[in-house]
Amino acid sequence: DAPELVHAGRGSVWSCASCHGDQGEGAGNTPRLAGLSKEYLAKQLRDFASDERINESMHYVARELSAHDIAEVTAYYANLPVPQLMLPHSDADMERGRLLFEKGDWKLDVPACVSCHGDQGQGVGVSFPPLAAQQPEYLFGQLAAWKGGHRHNSPQSLMDDIASRLSYQDLYAVSNYAASL
C-alpha cells in the first residue's frame, strides 16, 4: 500500500503523485522517483529541507516530512518498477551523447558517465542514481543547474566539475542519450 502522502497529501502538502505522476514516472522537469534507491531519495529530501539543494516546491514538501514519513515514501518509491518512458524523437546529437556517456571526453577532462552511473545508466549502489529512463528535460535541468552553480549537493563536487566542463550543447546531447536507455 502507498503511504497516505503519495496519493492524498496532507494539510498544505500536495500529494507526491500530483507532481511525480501516479507511477512515480515524473514528467518534464519533474523527475521519476520509481526505482531510485531509498538512500538517494532520502538524501535529496534532507537536502531540500535544509536548502542544501535549492527548489522551492520541494523545500515546502520536504520540511513537512518526519523521519517516519521519509522512511515510508522512500521505501515505497524505491520498490516501484521503473516505468517505460514514451519519448518523442529527440533533436539532440545522440552520437555525441553516446560518446560522452560511454567514453567521456579526455580533452575536456570529463570522465565517462558509465564509470559512476552504470554501463546502462541503471545507477550503481545506493549513491549513484540512474540516468536511464529518467526524464530528459529533468536531466538537462540538473546538469545546467550544476554548471550554473545552482545545485551543489553532489559528494565531492563530482557533478559540479563534470557539468562545468561541458557546453550546454553537450549537456543536452548526453541528457537525451541517457534518458533514451
Cβ proximity to ligand HEM: between 7 and 91 the closer is 7
DSSP string of the chain? Answer: ---HHHHT-BTTBPPHHHHH-TTS--BTTBPP-TT--HHHHHHHHHHHHHTSB--HHHHHHHTT--HHHHHHHHHHHHHSPPPPP-PPPP-S-HHHHHHHHHH-BGGGTB--THHHH-TTS--BTTTB---TTS-HHHHHHHHHHHHTTSB--SGGGHHHHHHHHS-HHHHHHHHHHHHT-
Q: Of 78, 162, 173, 179, which one interacts with ligand HEM (CB under 6 A)? A: 162
Establish if 128 lies at the interface with ligand HEM (CB under 6 A).
yes
Q: How far is the CB of 90 from ligand HEM (least distance, A)?
A: 15
Q: How far is the CB of 88 from ligand HEM (least distance, A)?
A: 20
Please choose, out of 78-86, 87-95, 128-136, the segment that lies near ligand HEM by the rule CB under 6 A.
128-136
User: Using CB under 6 A as the criterion, which residues of the chain lie in contact with ligand HEM when the complex forms?
Assistant: 5, 14, 16, 18-20, 29-31, 33, 36, 41, 43-45, 55, 57-58, 61, 73, 100, 110-111, 113, 115-117, 127-129, 131, 134, 139, 141-143, 153-155, 158-159, 162, 174, 178
